[in-house]
Amino acid sequence: MRTRKLIVLLVTVSALVLAACSSPGGGGTSNAQGGLDCPTIRVIVPYSPGGGSDQQVRRLQPALEDALGKRLNVTYMEGGDGAVGWNALADAEPDGCTISNVVAPNIVNLSMGGDVGFKAADFEYIAWTEFSPNIIAVSKNAPYDSIEAFIDEAKSAPGGMTIAGVGDNGRLLMSEINKATGMELSYVPVSGGVGDIIFKVFGGHIDSAVSGFSLLDGDQLKPLVLSAPSDAFPDVPTFGEAGYPGVKLVTTWGFILPPETPDEIVQTWNEAVQQALEDPEVKKKYEEGAGFTVLHQNVDEARKYFEEQRKATRDAAAAMK
């Protein structure tokens, strides 16, 4: 009799242990994971800590970990305007255990520039999560309180004022701005990302910067003009409103998987991202942030958005020639 009770007790305890291991945060694969069999998940950030890509990943990380029941290991692989990180993703196993942050138009512009080891169209696009207008930002201490004052100063000394951006993508944005405004800003490429740009502009080493709202992290820089309207900055004009139409590109952040990742894994990741975006703490972060527009997309919409951004980037690059 005692033997039978002992067996029943052991079976019960084993069942409880297995249930705990298969629940979110446990060591096994739960329904929330949708078949992701990963001890941990590596998230590649192809730019430096503190920049727009890092900010996007960190905003979503806790909620993604809850949705997947897995720890996310954020790995910074900066260099080559993002090429180092995206090449690492291209070489990763398509098992859902490695993903990367992605930025448009950066990845499109980089992929158009020749052989960089990958093709932007080959990745599996999970979802784009947010976008912001591109802005010209200057130090809070700069003497320019309007885009008109900035442009007047730049035109008084052609080539004498500097503007920083992220690699070749920043050069594309600067060229779009120069063409629309008639300025001749001198470009300073920074391959590490926005995190490396902010302190250089705030410290007065570079006159200005062009990128998305991630430039405003830390409240060290101020926006002078936007490439698209934003409710977060109703008093900051767009280029069109300031009398300079033709600046239209925005910056968008999302997540991608290696090429040829199975559809069911891409779908699992998309569902986790959408769940994370609905998390109350995540919503609060976006509401208190610098005015990012949150995107909710299924897998097909994410691919369509990539194609739209690729066309817009190619059109902008062709117009600069």
For residue 10, pLDDT beyond 60 = no
38-131+251-320 — its CATH code?
A: 3.40.190.150
Domain edges within the chain: 38-131+251-320, 133-249
Place of tokens 């990742």: 261
We find that the CATH architecture of domain 133-249 is 3-Layer(aba) Sandwich (3.40)
pLDDT digits (tens, 9 = 90+) for 275-317: 999 999 999 999 988 789 999 999 999 999 999 999 999 988 8
Is 133-249 in the same CATH topology as 38-131+251-320? yes
Please tell me what DSSP assigns to residue 182.
-
For residue 182, pLDDT beyond 90 = yes
pLDDT digits (tens, 9 = 90+) for 229-271: 999 999 999 999 999 999 989 999 999 999 999 999 999 999 9
Give the model's pLDDT for residue 290.
76
Distance between CA atoms of 303 and 130, rounded to whole angstroms? 15
Q: Which two tokens stand for residue 46?
A: 């192809």
For residue 114, pLDDT beyond 90 = no
Give the model's pLDDT for residue 34.
53
Give 151's pLDDT tier (boundaries 50, 70, 90): very high
Give the model's pLDDT for residue 321.
73
Give the model's pLDDT for residue 175.
93
Q: Which two tokens stand for residue 65?
A: 């970990």
What is the value of pTM for the model shown?
0.83
